[in-house]
Copies of this chain bind each other. A is one copy, B any other.
C-alpha cells in the first residue's frame, strides 16, 4: 500500500536540469528537441517510472482520446462482436472506449449521454434504444459539433454518419427466398418499427410479397422485444391462428430459434409445413436443427468501421461528406427453409 508520490515531468526536469517544457516536448517527439536530449528524457522517465497524467493533459488540450459507446444491451453475441471490433480499432489508434447500456430506454440513454459528455469524450458511437423517437436528447453533442456516429439502429441526421446494412434489401431477399420455397402465408416477427432496422426489414417483406402477388396481411405481423421468451410467445399465438402460416421470418436469430423449438414441440415439420428464417447469423443458427436460414450481419466489421470512421473524423477534422455507409450482407440458406425441389 505504499502510496508513493506520483512522478511528474517536474521531477524529471529537476533530475535532468531541464525545464518541464522540454520534458513535455521530448516525451512526445516534438521536432525541435535534440535527439540526444530526447533520449536522456526517455531514459530518465523510464528509470523514474514516469506515467503521464491524462487528466492534466486532457484538461489542457480539451481533448480526451476517449470514445463513448452507447448500446441498447451488451449481452448478445452480435453486440459483443461489435464492441470487440471497436475496441480493436480504437486501441490501435490510441483511443479508449467508455461503454454504457441504454437497456432500451430513452431516459437511460439520456443519462448516458450526459455522463459521456461530462467525461468529454471526443465522439460517440451509438445504436439507439427501442423507444427513442428522435435524437433531440443528443443535442448536447450535436450543438457542440462533437461527432456522432450511429450504427445498426440508426437515425437520419445531416450531421451524423450511419453504418448499416441494407435492411430493406435484406428483408426483401429473405422474404423472396421463402416465397420461392413455396411459402405464401409468411408471418413476420419483429420489434418496434421506430427503429430503422425493423421498419426497413418490414418494408422489404411487404414489397417482396407485393412483387410476388401476395396480399399483405396485418394479422401476420407480430411485434415483440425479440427475446427468447417473446419468440416462444409469438409462436404460441401463431399456433393458435385459424389458418396456420406456411413461413416465418423472424427479425433476429434468438427469436427464430425459439420459434423453431416451439414449432417442433407442437409437432410441426420444418421446413415442410413451415419454413423459418432468422436474422444475424448468430452462432445459434448453425446449431439448431434444422439449421437456420439467416442473414449474415458482420458485427465485428461494423464495429471496426464505426470506430475507424469516427477516428478519421477526429484526426482529420474534416467533416467527411459520407452520410451513410452500407455494409454487405448475404443470405445464408440452410435447412430451415430449404424445401426439396425448390431453388434457393
Please give the residue numbers on chain A whose beta carbons come within 8 Å of chain B beta carbons, in ascending order.
1-4, 6, 49, 51-56, 58-59, 62, 64, 66, 73-77, 79-81, 83-84, 87-88, 91, 96-101, 112, 114-115, 117-120, 140, 143-145, 228, 254, 257, 261, 283-284, 287-289, 300, 319
Contacts and interface: CB of A to CB of B under 8 A. Distances in A.
A99 to B, nearest CB: 6
A233 B238 CA distance: 41
Contact of A80 (B49, B52, B75, B87): B75
So how many copies of this chain end up in the complex? Answer: 2
B100 A99 contact: no
Nearest to A77: B77
22 contacts: A1-B145, A4-B144, A6-B62, A49-B140, A51-B114, A53-B59, A54-B118, A55-B56, A56-B59, A73-B84, A74-B81, A75-B80, A75-B300, A76-B77, A77-B77, A77-B80, A80-B83, A84-B101, A96-B98, A96-B115, A96-B119, A289-B289
Q: Which of A1, A52, A53, A283 gathers the greatest number of chain B CB atoms within 10 Å?
A: A283
A73 B119 CA distance: 25
Given A4-B144, A144-B3, A83 B99 contact: yes
Contact of A59 (B55, B100, B101): B55
B80 A100 contact: no
A257 B64 CA distance: 43
Nearest to A108: B91
Contacts of A64: 55
A289 B99 CA distance: 36
A48 to B, nearest CB: 13
Nearest to A319: B1
Contacts of A257: 287
A144 B55 CA distance: 18
Contacts of A101: 84, 87-88, 91
A97 B87 CA distance: 13
Nearest to A117: B51
B75 A81 contact: yes
A118 B52 contact: yes
Given A76-B77, A77-B77, 19 more contacts: A1-B145, A2-B144, A3-B144, A4-B144, A51-B140, A52-B118, A55-B59, A56-B59, A74-B80, A74-B87, A76-B80, A87-B100, A87-B101, A91-B101, A91-B112, A96-B119, A97-B100, A254-B283, A284-B287
